[in-house]
Amino acid sequence: MTSIRSPQQLGDTLRAARKQLGLTQPQLALAAGVGVRFIVDLEAGKPTLRLETVLRVIDTLGGEVQLSGLPSVAANDQREGDDHGA
């Protein structure tokens, strides 16, 4: 598992994963349903990208996001907490 603590580390990790899979930036963009500019910005560590789209790219690369060091949340508590920020 890779520890990510900055947008730049995330970008570097995703670039390495893309290259390991033999994908170009345009190929990954097409597979993830995003623009090539988004992939370029993501790999450059741009900190203001939309999380939903970042997660889509991570999923396309076969990855997943796991959080460690945070308190566990029961499934029903998580559903009740979905209204945060509303």
Q: Each residue of 24-36: pLDDT tens digit? A: 999 999 999 999 9
CB 57 within 8 A of CB 14: yes
* pTM for the whole structure: 0.80
Span 51-71, pLDDT tens digits: 999 999 999 999 999 988 889
Q: Per-residue pLDDT for 76 more than 50?
A: no
CB 52 within 8 A of CB 24: no
What DSSP state is assigned to residue 84?
Answer: T
- Which of 9, 65, 20, 67 is CA-nearest to residue 42? 9
Mean predicted confidence (pLDDT) in 19-45 = 98
Mean predicted confidence (pLDDT) in 32-53 = 97
Amino acid at 68: S
Structure tokens at 75: 């499934």
Task: Report all structural domains of the chain as residue ranges with CATH numbers, in order of start.
Answer: 1-86 (1.10.260.40)
